[in-house]
Structure 1
Amino acid sequence: METSIYRVFDIEQDAAALDRAAALLRAGRLVVIPTETVYGLAADALNPSAASAIYAAKGRPSDNPLIVHIADPEQARPLVKRLPDAYFALAERFWPGPMTVILEKSARVPYETSGGLETVALRMPSHPVARELIRRAGTPLAAPSANLSGSPSPTCAGHCIQDLTGRVDAIIDGGSCTVGVESTVLTLCTDPPAILRPGAVTLEMLREVLPDIRLDPGVFAHLPDGAKAASPGMKYRHYAPKARVVLLWGTLVQFAAYLEAQPPGCGVLCFEGEQARFGGHPCVTYGRRDDPVSQAQALFGALRRIDELGLTSVYARVDSPDGVGQAVYNRLLRAAGFTEIRLGWEESAT
């Protein structure tokens, strides 16, 4: 398959490229699109064959549901059985933006899109190119991350070109993603509502609209074998480089002492300015300590850099999982296959 690359940085000037991409989507083809979170692998969400093609292109398990992207909150009406008041309250506060809401699906949403579930995950992205393409295509778009299944998510078009050239019909280069991790996913199908995947819209922010919302236990735990994943990113090892990743909880002093006992050649995933503490171990940084927003923006690029360096094992520094830090820890935990070591946590021993 030949993959066309379109650069779209101005909707009016690059309208012809958007029209070509929209025509591909209406024909049931696959187009990589930019969003503010990560790049998405898009297809017509209401076309079962197109949705199935997403799974095939990514090598994604078919029971891992897809998120449906819309350009306006009202576009959700034919896709769900009902729209509760909480949906409109959330949409008014957080859309367009990095939040996904799960509701009971209508018959218009094929099971190929919902991963066999009776629910559908809906999101209205803030990236103007994504919303304009949805409007021009005239259909909601199913769009999981535009990477090979399990590998680090793409935050620039170059990552998508590396992973999906020859597997998709077109890739739209719309610049680097500003958020850097996937959207917050919450379900309104449980009482109380629950966050199934943390993101840039944090638990604290959501509680201002839904005071009783909680974190699902599966956010930081491995789902049992045979369990159905209610949200993307819950069931399988995700976001992972080829290298073995181990999370180390502890102070910088404890982390450095642990690394001294490890064989040469193992890598370090650490924060900016810490590289000198780890001797001859190759280091990759992902943002600043105590700044989870910068960590989220840099994380997936750092995980890809680990593979570029040819590292086979990496020990990762982790920060306090508060606010956006919950999203960073969630992605690291899955990249590590839930492998973590607790060295202790004493803030005074830095």
Structure 2
Amino acid sequence: MDRIVETKLWNVDKNVEDLESCSQVVDAAHLIREGELVAFPTETVYGLGANAFSDEAVEKIYHAKGRPSDNPLIVHIGDMDQLHEVAREVPEMAYPLIERFWPGPLTLLLPKAEKIATQVTKLDTVGVRMPDHPLALALIRAARVPIAAPSANRSGRPSPTMAEHVRQDLDGRIAAILDGGETGVGVESTVLDLTVSPPMILRPGGITREQLHEVLGDVAIDPAFEAKAEHVPRSPGMKYTHYAPQGELWLVDGSPEQAQKKMEELIREAKANGLSTGVLATDETIGAWRKNGLVDAVLSCGSRQDPSSIAQLLYARLREFDDLGIQYMVGETFPKQGLGMAVMNRLEKAAGGRIISV
């Protein structure tokens, strides 16, 4: 990207009574309407926003991120009126989901309205959600247009859960960053295709299959989670390596004892090859790793008893390994139930499919 700009960093107190009138939000909304890019926090990760009705504005997202142009974007709305500007039609089954999960980390794939910029998606469907973050909602409402927004990081990198992560990746490439503190959920939204029967999860995320089942009954899972390059992705996260640290990450799947033994073996081999090493551990295993002194860096991504803590910390920990210059990492795996499905989806993509079963 040849265009270098001065990126403004605005710290915003999300507890301000009228965020839409806050000067930083007003200025950010003006930038959106003028076709510029603004990063902003949601309850999942930081998003990189552009006017969803402007092809020229949305095109800037792909250039700033280095994102493949066939990777569709999600459109964020601030109220139900905008839903009908974004979607050509809304099926009846969408409304109980909206009542239960919006605002929140659920993206619905719906027939695309004509007003949506072609650059948002080349398909006849569009992903739309209403984020559960006061600053995100204030920005969208102040901008008075739906905002197309993928995660605010360079393509392939771990998604940003803090404004500093955005600055590291996109400083000089975007107009502004709204700093609203650390995000909560940590992994991106669940993408649910409502144009098929039964509805199908295209990307696991902050709303679990079990929660969706309570509302809809039967919910399918797209087998194309492991889609190859020739497949046309219908949702973000279905194609390409994502969420990856700069070093090489391997996952080891097995019983705690067998996994620990294999991970130690891999670490010794990496150290013998002169690589700096790290372990992505959990609260339950970090003590043993620190005690044996085998690795250069040990970080916990949360507790196995609390998958939400792992979802929240995962990306930040992968970025910490980069900050420490770690070249080779091993990590644990998790059961693919509840939020564990989203966690493992992100881990498997961060590892580029490098998984050893023992």
TM-score scaled by length of structure 1: 0.94
Q: Does 1:130 align with 2:136?
A: yes
Paired with 2:138 and 2:162, the residues of 1 have a C-alpha distance of: 19
Q: Does 1:260 align with 2:264?
A: yes
Paired with 1:260 and 1:129, the residues of 2 have a C-alpha distance of: 44
For residues 287-302 of structure 1, the aligned pairs below 5 Å read 287-302=302-317
Q: CA deviation at 1:299?
A: 0.2
Aligned residue type for 1:243: G
Match of 1:230 among 234, 249, 273: 234
Q: CA deviation at 1:273?
A: 4.2
Gaps of 5+ in 1: 344-350
2:338 maps to what in 1? 323
1:340 maps to what in 2? 355
TM-score scaled by length of structure 2: 0.92
* CA displacement, residues 162-201 of structure 1 (integer Å, 9 cap, x when unaligned): 1111000000000110100100101011121100111121
Match of 2:282 among 260, 263, 271: 271
Aligned residue type for 1:56: H
Paired with 2:144 and 2:181, the residues of 1 have a C-alpha distance of: 24
For residues 193-232 of structure 1, the aligned pairs below 5 Å read 193-219=199-225, 222-232=226-236
Match of 1:20 among 10, 18, 27: 27
Match of 1:243 among 247, 250, 260: 247
Paired with 2:84 and 2:68, the residues of 1 have a C-alpha distance of: 28
1:305 maps to what in 2? 320
1:80 maps to what in 2? 87
Q: Does 1:45 align with 2:56?
A: no
Paired with 1:199 and 1:95, the residues of 2 have a C-alpha distance of: 14
1:314 maps to what in 2? 329
Aligned residue type for 2:352: G
1:347 maps to what in 2? none
For residues 153-232 of structure 1, the aligned pairs below 5 Å read 153-219=159-225, 222-232=226-236
User: Conserved in 2, the CA contact under 8 Å of 1:68 and 1:122?
Assistant: yes
Paired with 1:157 and 1:187, the residues of 2 have a C-alpha distance of: 30
User: Conserved in 1, the CA contact under 8 Å of 2:284 and 2:304?
Assistant: no
Q: CA deviation at 1:214?
A: 1.0
* CA displacement, residues 146-175 of structure 1 (integer Å, 9 cap, x when unaligned): 000000000011111111110000000001
Paired with 2:118 and 2:227, the residues of 1 have a C-alpha distance of: 22
SS of structure 1 residue aligned to 2:93: helix
User: Conserved in 2, the CA contact under 8 Å of 1:290 and 1:319?
Assistant: no
SS of structure 2 residue aligned to 1:185: strand
Paired with 1:215 and 1:260, the residues of 2 have a C-alpha distance of: 34
* CA displacement, residues 212-247 of structure 1 (integer Å, 9 cap, x when unaligned): 21111123xx21231100100110100000111111
* CA displacement, residues 316-342 of structure 1 (integer Å, 9 cap, x when unaligned): 101211101111000001001111111
Q: CA deviation at 1:78?
A: 2.3
Paired with 1:109 and 1:328, the residues of 2 have a C-alpha distance of: 31
What value does the CA root-mean-square deviation take over the aligned residues? Answer: 1.3
Q: CA deviation at 1:73?
A: 2.6
Aligned residue type for 1:109: I
Aligned length: 340
User: Conserved in 2, the CA contact under 8 Å of 1:256 and 1:277?
Assistant: no
* CA displacement, residues 258-304 of structure 1 (integer Å, 9 cap, x when unaligned): 13323234321110242242321121210111321000010000110
2:98 maps to what in 1? 91
SS of structure 1 residue aligned to 2:98: helix
* CA displacement, residues 66-101 of structure 1 (integer Å, 9 cap, x when unaligned): 000001133111222211111111111100000000
SS of structure 2 residue aligned to 1:295: helix
Paired with 1:109 and 1:243, the residues of 2 have a C-alpha distance of: 38
Q: Does 1:140 align with 2:130?
A: no
* CA displacement, residues 31-58 of structure 1 (integer Å, 9 cap, x when unaligned): 0011000000001011000000001000
Between 1:189-198 and 1:293-302, the stretch displaced more is: 189-198
Paired with 2:103 and 2:88, the residues of 1 have a C-alpha distance of: 22
